[in-house]
A and B are shown apart, each in its own frame.
Chain A
């Protein structure tokens, strides 16, 4: 199923799920029980699982198509993993289920026999996360509200259509059921079977009737007829079903006719173009406020049905603290290391198989006048690189070549960076996260 903005809803998802399960189980198997409480666990999990996924990106499974937009299974798995820290409630819920199970049956995740249980929990984690992300992406692409539940409903309807289509295709073998779906007795080939060429041709009444037949023909109640409340209201709203079926069909056709539904997304070199618009819009609004010439009422959207109203985040304090000390920063960034430091650096670089002058060159490739980098001036170079590692990934077209490990063409691994800095991995992670917090705190001042 394709919908505007979504990436994780096509058949390739099965493989994405398996890949994430496989890698996660491998990482989580080694957890000590006390680590469940460790707030840094998520970070470690993402790093280690990411490394595993990265390492297997050329396997047949990872290289297979994950969707029809050109994302491979491996790429989708990685991008989903990297979204996890941005949606902490999913990880917290996952941890809570591990704790519950732990209270009941001990450190089950270490038992090979319980691998299935762990895998199932990981599945649930990512199944929820993908619908959240796709719901968000749908909102971004359409400007209309959406929720994970709604995505789930679209998918249920898409599946229903496929099953109905399969029954229609083999109508002779399923005469009774097809008759029940169409609401009449069959005499010869029903015309509907020929007419339904895509999901757009599927009638809401058929979906409802099909669901009702499942108890008798499929052995279990259909999705609209279970006791679960999830789709309870939908059963009585054929218009709603019809609209959703039509939407899936329309977009399927639209996206099949275009090379890419979002062609403008990847105009290389224009990543920052919209930021100019953003700063201009913010600036115009601030100027307007200063002049005091506001004559319109606020046009804030009311929350949709069940969603809670978001607390307005007050960035005033953040704005004040940011923007200080940017002048001396440039100095610090290019601050040449003295001879002794340089020798230590060379040793450390060689020890992790990087060119001896790696740090020296990488340091020179930083832009002295950059305000963003200025904010990180107090951090060591490895920490700064770890920040990029985390925020933009191991490879990004915007990285200077000398930042990359010649052996991999990517940023050094976190282990390498920790060794370069002469610190442990947990310390590196901690400092990196602190540095990222500083950037977040400063972002609005840089925009101004």
Chain B
């Protein structure tokens, strides 16, 4: 048995809304009005809402725009992923010199990313920065890519979206200072698109 009764109900709803006989039906709302309601920037007035509910044709246009919007968003997400496909992630090692007691900058092997560590009164902070001449830098900043950093043992150190400067900052999540932590966890790190679990 298919557990698709909700889908069934959705199909039924759709039919009830769209397959009604309304003599003289026509488009009652302009695309701009429907799109404003869809993106929440301008809710429908009561009269517009009544018009939408009373006109299967206007509803069909609404459905069309809603689906277009959803598939565009989906396409963007896909594009996002495929744009990131040129870059799947970067790895970096704790260099010998970095085994000193204080760690301030790490760089990935491909040179695209740096990790900076700042000590403040509240404790360590870690800043991931994208090097401006990375081939995907402009796109990544423009789209505000979600990225994450893991230590050599695979646990998460930082996750977030790149800001306009190609940076992403957060508090150091571990008790041990960065250098000790990295030394105990594989002496390496990886920067990758967020959501790769």
Indicate whether B63 reaches chain A with its CB closer than 8 angstroms.
yes
Residue in A143, A285, A367 whose CB lies within 8 Å of B9: A367
List B residues at the A interface (Cβ < 8 Å): 1-2, 4-17, 19-33, 37-38, 40, 42-55, 57, 59-71
Nearest CB of A to B46, in Å: 5
> Does A275 contact B10, Cβ atoms closer than 8 Å?
yes
**Which of A87, A136, A304: most chain B CB closer than 10 A?**
A136
Name A307's closest neighbour in chain B (CB-CB). B26
A290–B77 CA distance with the chains assembled, in angstroms: 36
Residue in B1, B13, B14, B61 whose CB lies within 8 Å of A140: B61
Nearest CB of B to A317, in Å: 13
Q: Please judge, given known A-B contacts A372-B13, A400-B5, whether A86 and B54 are in contact too, CB under 8 Å.
A: no
Chain B residues with CB under 8 A of A297? 45
> Does A86 contact B19, Cβ atoms closer than 8 Å?
yes
> Does A88 contact B1, Cβ atoms closer than 8 Å?
no
A396–B15 CA distance with the chains assembled, in angstroms: 13
Name A373's closest neighbour in chain B (CB-CB). B9
Interface with B: A150-158, A264-272, A409-417, which one? A264-272
- Can you offer 7 A-B residue contacts whose CB atoms are under 8 A? A277-B38, A285-B46, A301-B30, A308-B24, A312-B54, A313-B22, A313-B53
**Which of A87, A145, A301, A371: most chain B CB closer than 10 A?**
A301
Interface with B: A51-59, A195-203, A439-447, which one? A439-447
Nearest CB of B to A432, in Å: 14
**Which of B2, B12, B30, B64: most chain A CB closer than 10 A?**
B12
A131–B64 CA distance with the chains assembled, in angstroms: 20
Nearest CB of B to A94, in Å: 15
> Does B26 contact A303, Cβ atoms closer than 8 Å?
yes
Residue in B4, B16, B61 whose CB lies within 8 Å of A398: B4
Q: Please judge, given known A-B contacts A136-B57, A285-B37, whether A310 and B45 are in contact too, CB under 8 Å.
A: no
Q: List the 6 shortest-distance A-B pairs measured between CB atoms, nearest first.
A: A272-B10, A264-B71, A367-B5, A398-B8, A313-B54, A285-B44
> Does B13 contact A401, Cβ atoms closer than 8 Å?
no
Chain B residues with CB under 8 A of A296? 42, 45
A373–B12 CA distance with the chains assembled, in angstroms: 10
The size of the chain A interface, using a CB distance under 8 A, is 71
Residue in A136, A299, A399 whose CB lies within 8 Å of B8: A399
> Does A300 contact B48, Cβ atoms closer than 8 Å?
yes
Chain A residues with CB under 8 A of B70? 264, 270, 273-274, 277
A443–B56 CA distance with the chains assembled, in angstroms: 13
Chain A residues with CB under 8 A of B43? 281, 284-285, 287-288
> Does A400 contact B14, Cβ atoms closer than 8 Å?
no
Indicate whether A68 reaches chain B with its CB closer than 8 angstroms.
no
Chain B residues with CB under 8 A of A272? 6-7, 9-11, 13-14
A368–B44 CA distance with the chains assembled, in angstroms: 34
> Does A141 contact B12, Cβ atoms closer than 8 Å?
no
Residue in A264, A287, A400 whose CB lies within 8 Å of B1: A400
Residue in B9, B13, B21, B66 whose CB lies within 8 Å of A277: B66
> Does B68 contact A264, Cβ atoms closer than 8 Å?
yes
A232–B100 CA distance with the chains assembled, in angstroms: 91
> Does B51 contact A139, Cβ atoms closer than 8 Å?
no
Chain B residues with CB under 8 A of A97? none
Nearest CB of B to A266, in Å: 10
A314–B51 CA distance with the chains assembled, in angstroms: 10
A274–B80 CA distance with the chains assembled, in angstroms: 23
> Does A439 contact B12, Cβ atoms closer than 8 Å?
yes
Nearest CB of A to B6, in Å: 7
Name B33's closest neighbour in chain A (CB-CB). A299
Which residues 289-321 of A have a CB within 8 angstroms of B?
289, 294, 296-301, 303-304, 307-308, 310, 312-315
Chain A residues with CB under 8 A of B52? 281-282
Name B64's closest neighbour in chain A (CB-CB). A140
Name B75's closest neighbour in chain A (CB-CB). A264
Name B61's closest neighbour in chain A (CB-CB). A140
Indicate whether A85 reaches chain B with its CB closer than 8 angstroms.
yes
A288–B38 CA distance with the chains assembled, in angstroms: 14
> Does A372 contact B66, Cβ atoms closer than 8 Å?
no
> Does A443 contact B48, Cβ atoms closer than 8 Å?
no
